[in-house]
Amino acid sequence: MRVAFIGVGHMGLPMCANLLKAGHAVTAYDLVAAHLDRAVAAGAARATSVADCVAQAEAVVTMLPSSPHVRSVYCGESGVIARAARGALLVDCSTIDPQVAREVAFDSLARGLTMVDAPVSGGTAGAQAGTLTFMVGGSAKEFEAARPLLACMGTNVVHCGASGNGQVAKICNNMMLAAGMIATSEAMTLAARLGMDPTVFAGIVNASSGRCWSSDTYNPYPGVMEGVPAARGYSGGFGTDLMLKDLSLATEAARVARVPVLLGAVAQQVYQKHSADGHGAEDFSSVILQYLKT
């Protein structure tokens, strides 16, 4: 397929490379010249604008920071919706506000374009390995149209329901993950402070009812597990600022839907403080430093 790829940053670049590896003809565009240069070095053709990028494309994939960037790339006179060829498939893989995803999909449909939201989990490692999970929002027909392309970049492509539901799955999962990571951090720190060996405590938790992904796969306490960010000074992994962004999307969506998310709101504030304390670029499990340091 002729694919336009817009936003070749940390995630977009390796995703674009996997589309090229699968034999697609990719034209890339990014506001940052150095990012676009890397995509061109990987084999993509260079576009000079969004309009130029999408003009000949049968499918458009976007991987942008957040809702305002998606609006600006898709909407307006020179945006994807106005400039894409009729019948083109539009796939936004950015994590954004579900309501914005629905609005952009609605505008696309009004111009006869097929659009799905397809945010991902799996991080940069999954993007490189082509093992991402895609959470897809759109009709069954739109999902089937997008599936083959997404399968070139991921191993798990899940239909979440109507437009926007991919974003719903993504932000609700991450809200749970953040609360679980904070709870694990508190319990690990308290047990250690009360005199327990943290590794023995983690072993008990992981065979008991307190077990969760943050305790058994990604334990934040230094020295308890190998190969996790806690074992390397919290470098790599999923950044605190990305988690903060997802929590802010979740609490804002909850406000609009008038659903109380007490733990989600606390988690958002804990991560906001953690970021303000200078840990924004560290892995999100570094939130345990808020407790270990006290």
Task: Figure out which of the listed residues 18, 27, 67, 94 binds ligand NAD, where binding follows CB under 6 A.
Answer: 94
- For residue 105, the minimal CB distance to ligand NAD (Å) is 16
**CA separation for the pair 42, 93 (Å, rounded):** 20
| Nearest-approach distance from CB 49 to ligand NAD, in angstroms | 9
Alpha carbons 213 and 215: distance in angstroms, whole number:
5
Cα(279)–Cα(276) distance, integer angstroms: 7
Is 264 an interacting residue with respect to ligand NAD (CB under 6 A)?
no
Q: Closest CB to ligand NAD among 11 and 191?
A: 11
CB of residue 249 vs ligand NAD: minimum separation in angstroms?
Answer: 9
Q: Residues 210-239: x/- map of binding to ligand NAD (CB under 6 A)?
A: ----------------------------x-
Residue ranges in 11-70 that form contacts with ligand NAD under rule CB under 6 A: 11-12, 29-32, 35, 63-66, 69
Tokens 């490379």, residue located: 17
Question: Considering the complex, what minimum distance in angstroms separates the CB of residue 62 from ligand NAD?
Answer: 8
Indicate the residue among 121 and 215 with the shorter CB distance to ligand NAD: 121
Residue with tokens 């303000």: 276
Instruction: Report which of 192, 209, 202 is spatially closest to residue 226, judged by C-alpha positions.
Output: 202
**Residue least distant from ligand NAD (Cβ):** 9
Residues contacting ligand NAD: total by CB under 6 A: 28
> Which residue's CB is nearer to ligand NAD, number 64 or number 253?
64
Contact between 16 and 38 (Cβ < 8 Å):
no
Q: Which is nearer to ligand NAD, 35 or 159 (CB)?
A: 35
Residue with smaller CB distance to ligand NAD, 113 or 243: 243
Give the H/E segment covering residue 191.
helix 165-193
For residue 59, the SS3 value is strand
190, amino acid identity: L
| Residue 235: HSE in the Cβ half-sphere, 13 Å Cα cutoff | 2
The residues annotated with a catalytic role in the active site are 170
Q: How far is the CB of 137 from ligand NAD (least distance, A)?
A: 15
Dist. CA 125–CA 105, nearest whole Å: 29
Q: Is 137 in the site for ligand NAD (CB under 6 A)?
A: no
Q: Which DSSP helix (H) or strand (E) runs through 274?
A: helix 262-274
CA torsion through residues 19, 229, 65, 7, sign? negative
Task: Say how far residue 247 (Cα) sits from the centre of its chain.
Answer: 12
- Closer of 13 and 205 to ligand NAD (Cβ): 13
Interatomic CA distance for residues 257 and 276, integer angstroms:
28
Out of 99, 124, 128, 156, the residue judged to bind ligand NAD by CB under 6 A: 124
Minimum CB separation of residue 202 from ligand NAD in Å reads 25
Contact set with ligand NAD (CB under 6 A): 6-12, 29-32, 35, 63-66, 69, 72-73, 94-95, 120-121, 123-124, 238, 242, 245
